[in-house]
Chains A and B, each alone.
Chain A
Amino acid sequence: MRRWALAFAFAVTAVAAGSAAGIRAVVVQSPGTADPMIVDGDVGRSGGALVIAARTEPKTFNPIVALDAPSRDVIWRMHADLIHINRETQRTEPALARSWTVSGDGLHYVLHLRRGVRFSDGHPFDADDVVFSFAAYLDERVHSPQRDLLLIDGRPIAVRKIDSETIGVDLPAPYAGAERLFDSVAMLPRHRLEAVWKAGALGDAWGISTPADDLVGLGPFRLERFRPGEEIALARNPDYWKQDRAHNRLPYLTRLTFAVVPSEEAQVIRLRAGELDVLNRVSSQHATTLDRDQANGPYELRDLGPGLEYHFLFFNQNDPAPAAVRAKQAWFADERFRRAISLAIDRASLVGLAYRGRATPIWGHVTPGNRLWANTAIAHPPPSRPAALALLRDAGFKQNSAGTLTDAHGNAVSFSILVAAGNAALTDMAAIIQEDLRRLGVSVQIAALDFNAVLARVLESHDYEACLLRLVDGDVDPNPEMNVWLSSGPTHLWRPAQTTPATAWEAEIDRLMRQQMTTLDAGARKRLYDRVQTIVAEKLPLVPLVSPNIIVAAKRGLGNFRPAVLDHYTLWNAEQLFWRATEARR
């Protein structure tokens, strides 16, 4: 009881001191981080502002509960994690933890925190903040969407303080690449949030109406001003713990503004007019126009090639399924049928027409954008109608005199493809597939619904025949993909949450995925996941089609502009961005 009161009193004084400090933090209270992190890259000039387009405003400034990408894009400019996945190299690197050691069995981590790090209100950061942050993420009452990532085999990882600069982390079971778990777990100020947490209100804390001074983090920027529906202005955090090679304190920019521009059309127009500096993502259609006018415009377009997103077609293999679907499931269950469909689809047309060439055809589910894990040995069979027909004949299908494909019982082969409406590239893809399959004698109807309804049909009611969908990975590692590939996984799309694997190959994938999760040797793990990719490419539960390129655009003259194909694309190194001298502005 007494300790409670003490902690409370401490929190109150800290809050008061923090809000009173204000400018003092810049002038007096900036002794500098004792061991800053030195980052590679061009040495830039300080100053200047950057305006980034945002589709919507953030829904919350709370990193624990944020679910949507616009919120995370803003939040992660204001916060930092212990170990970070470098978006460019796709490998982990030290962040707030300057180093770490792992025990031989991979179960025990010891993390050494950077010394002299301060929150954006000047309050020092130490091991208690780390313990608090993990406790908050793991608290069931807070409903953090990241909580499940911190459970291994259903049991939470244990985080304990060894001393004020050292943290011990114990895993309940071996977990390959466990240091990736620390990425995107924000280190939060205990002095600000502990009281709220104990009051059970942490989930609703730090909403968008929170005063800017109350939002405290360890990221390169801090909130300066939020105008609902208009813009979010972030100001430089003078206490940030990263420095460039010349030991200049980062970030360079004094202000980072997210301007809310809901329509992509308007985003493109305003970039060309010079009103916006960065578009974090450009669709292939707009990229074509931007590319054509690049020579006259004040901007540059970067096509980074395929990202981690993959588009695929899959068939309803649920049991039980609605009666109308059940009649067709004999076709869908036959792997020869699925392979014939895959052979009949001309991926080059999908890329060339639906994406204007700004996508990459794929035959496996791990895209070439995933440099560490993609299995490059997977075959790329060219589209071939005769080969597809041969497979179908082998499976008992026939083409009748009118060219219509019929199954062994004489039923005409026809099915509908469910697709999310409003996405031009996806609906174009559906129309191309429709035509490809029509040439095979298969009649396809396209059903466009809103995305939410598509997912409800796929994951809940199972009332659909085939579906064209895309998945976006947050990380290159196979572990977050477990829920897709394990036959019991909730996003095992073609047949979610089966109790036992329906086929021998699904059982094999189950075994391989479980094995790779606990295999600590990187090479062995890669071989296991390569095998999974090979099985998927052969059995085609998902028919991989294309991976769209990640395309970004920015005003010319932005130094250290090195966009990555992982999330936050252009913003991952926001602290390093600077305006070159010749384009000095604002």
Chain B
Amino acid sequence: MTSGLGPAIGVAAAYLAVLSAPVVAPYDPTAQHREHPLAPPTGIHVVDREGRVHLRPFVLANGADGAARAYPVRFFTRASGDVEAPSSVRLFAVDPPAAIFLFGTDTLGRDQFSRLLYGGRISLGAGLLAAACALTIGVLCGCVAGFFGGWVDTAIMGASDIFMALPWLYLLLAIRAALPLTVDPGRALLAIVLVIGIAGWARPARLVRGVVSSVRSRDFVAAAAAAGASPARVLRSHVAPEAFSVALTQASILIPQYTLAEITLSFFGIGIGEPTPSWGTMIGAMLRQELSVAHWWLAAPAAALVGVSLLYHATADALHRRALTMGVTR
């Protein structure tokens, strides 16, 4: 556990799952099963009414005659039913009129499980990339500001004040209103990453800058500089390790936060548009519905986000610990 391998594998598994969405997801994430709006998760049975145990799990559904019938779950099968392009093999499926909704459906009868997988592609990607973008800029600026001080520091910190003070959501809303109406999902994703990254660098920059400026003034660093070590060398060997830990903590906080930031963006039509799912739009839709225990399955994306965040956190923790141990032995 302390090796950090477990959580890292968990993170990798989450990414693998969303990347293999076309196979794992039983339905097209945009398909509306209008006869099943807000359906609870489908019950999967192995024991039938007579008490016999079946090796192949089955679901119950009312057939054309209105009587309940058992429909076996088929594995590694061609998709059927609502999916209009049955090109790929699905991990599992049932024959219509039965339906298998592992995590229930949303207001429009779309399969939450399939949407969770497809949406994860966008959300996990966007959160990670945006955090990377913000941290890269932030650590760079923070190091430069803290290390050089003086007017460079004043300029960068002034800029960071502005970036932190700007009401980003409001500005984006205003800018969005003036832009062309339709943007394809790919570009929208890129825009989200860039916007969050550019809006978010200031906070890590401030934290890093505080650490760096204190490191710089320590005796041994000052001595190294006096001994003729180039600024780049001092930065690399003395300052960067200290900044690394701050950046790592920031990363484990920013990734889930930025995945959530996408909710707000989607909510105001700046994110990925309908019908493409993302965890942000799904959580946003959940929050716009009445919040009630009666539709608990709508919280699946929030639960997924918490799970993934915990994995990230554990991974970051393990990395942090390794860095510390290395620092001691150095």
* Contact surface of A with B, Cβ cutoff 8 Å: 265, 268, 285-286, 288-289, 292, 346, 349, 352-354, 416, 418, 421-422, 424, 427-428, 430-432, 434-435, 445-450, 452-453, 456, 463-465
Q: Are A424 and B182 in contact (CB under 8 A)?
A: no
A424 touches B34 (CB 8 A): no
A422-B267 contact, Cβ under 8 Å, with A286-B290, A289-B290, A349-B34: yes
Is A432 in contact with B268, judged by CB distance below 8 angstroms? no
Q: Are the CB atoms of A428 and B290 closer together than 8 Å?
A: no
Interface residues of B in 153-197 (CB under 8 A from A): 173, 176-177, 181-182
- Select from chain B the residue with minimum beta-carbon distance to A464: B181
15 contacts between A and B (CB under 8 A): A265-B291, A289-B294, A292-B294, A354-B107, A421-B269, A422-B267, A434-B275, A435-B30, A435-B108, A445-B181, A445-B182, A447-B181, A448-B273, A449-B176, A449-B177
Question: What 0/1 pattern do residues 262 to 277 of B give for CB contact below 8 A with A?
Answer: 0000011100011100
Q: Roughly how many angstroms separate A447 CA and B176 CA in the complex, as a whole number?
A: 10
Whether B149 sits at the interface, judged by CB under 8 Å, is no
A428 to B284, CA, bound (A): 13
CA distance A428 to B34 in the complex (A): 12
Contact of B108 among A353, A448, A449, A452 (CB under 8 A): A353
The complex places the Cα of A289 from the Cα of B109 at a distance, in Å, of 18
Flag if A416 contacts B181 (CB, 8 Å): yes
Shortest distance from the beta carbon of B144 to any chain A beta carbon, whole Å:
38
Known contacts A424-B289, A450-B177; 20 further A-B pairs (Cβ under 8 A): A265-B291, A285-B288, A289-B292, A346-B34, A352-B37, A353-B34, A353-B107, A418-B181, A421-B268, A424-B285, A424-B288, A428-B108, A430-B274, A431-B108, A432-B32, A435-B30, A435-B275, A445-B182, A447-B182, A449-B269
Total A-B residue contacts, Cβ distance less than 8 Å: 75
With the chains together, A390 CA to B9 CA distance in Å?
Answer: 56
B292 proximity list for chain A (CB < 8 A): 289
A450 & B268 in contact (Cβ 8 Å cutoff): yes
Residues of B in contact with A (beta carbons under 8 Å apart):
30, 32, 34, 37, 107-109, 173, 176-177, 181-182, 267-269, 273-275, 285, 288-292, 294
Bound Cα distance A206, B181 (Å): 42
Within 8 Å by CB of B289, from A285, A431, A450, A453, lies A285
Smallest CB gap from B108: residue in A: A353
- Report Cα–Cα, A270/B106, bound state, in Å: 26
Q: State whether A431 touches B274 (Cβ < 8 A).
A: yes
Roughly how many angstroms separate A432 CA and B106 CA in the complex, as a whole number?
13
- How close is B123's CB to chain A, nearest CB, in angstroms? 19
User: Which residues from chain B contact A292 at a C-beta distance below 8 Å?
Assistant: 294
A456 to B294, CA, bound (A): 39
- Cα distance A424–B108 when bound, in Å? 12
Partner of B268, one of A352, A422, A445: A422
A353 to B37, Cβ gap below 8 A? Answer: yes
Do B182 and A285 touch (CB < 8 A)?
A: no
Chain A residues closer than 8 Å to B285, beta-carbon distance: 424
* Shortest Cβ gap from B105 to chain A (Å): 11
Q: Which 4 A-B pairs have the closest CB atoms?
A: A448-B269, A453-B177, A447-B181, A424-B288
- Nearest-neighbour CB distance to chain B for A396, whole angstroms, equals 25
| B290 pairs with A465, CB closer than 8 A | no
Complex contacts, A416 vs chain B, CB 8 Å: 181-182
CA gap between A424 and B281 in the complex, in Å = 12
Note all chain A residues with C-beta closer than 8 A to B37: 352-353
A265 — nearest CB in chain B belongs to which residue?
A: B291
State A422–B265 Cα separation when bound (angstroms).
Answer: 11
Known: A349-B34, A432-B32. A421 touches B182 (CB 8 A): no
Q: What residues of chain B lie closer than 8 Å to A449, measured between beta carbons?
A: 176-177, 181, 269
Distance between A504 CB and nearest chain B CB, rounded to angstroms: 32
If the complex has contacts A285-B289, A448-B269, are A435 and B32 also in contact, measured as CB distance less than 8 A?
A: yes
- Please, which residues of chain B bring their CB within 8 A of the CB of A422? 267-268
Residues of chain B within 8 A of A268, CB atoms compared = 290
Chain B residues with Cβ below 8 Å from A435 are: 30, 32, 108, 275
B287, closest chain A residue (CB): A265
CA distance A380 to B294 in the complex (A): 35
Select A427's contact among B34, B176, B182, B274, beta carbons within 8 Å.
Answer: B274
Give the CA-CA distance A416 to B182 in the complex, in Å. Answer: 7
Q: With A and B bound together, what is the CA distance between A424 and B294 in angstroms?
A: 19
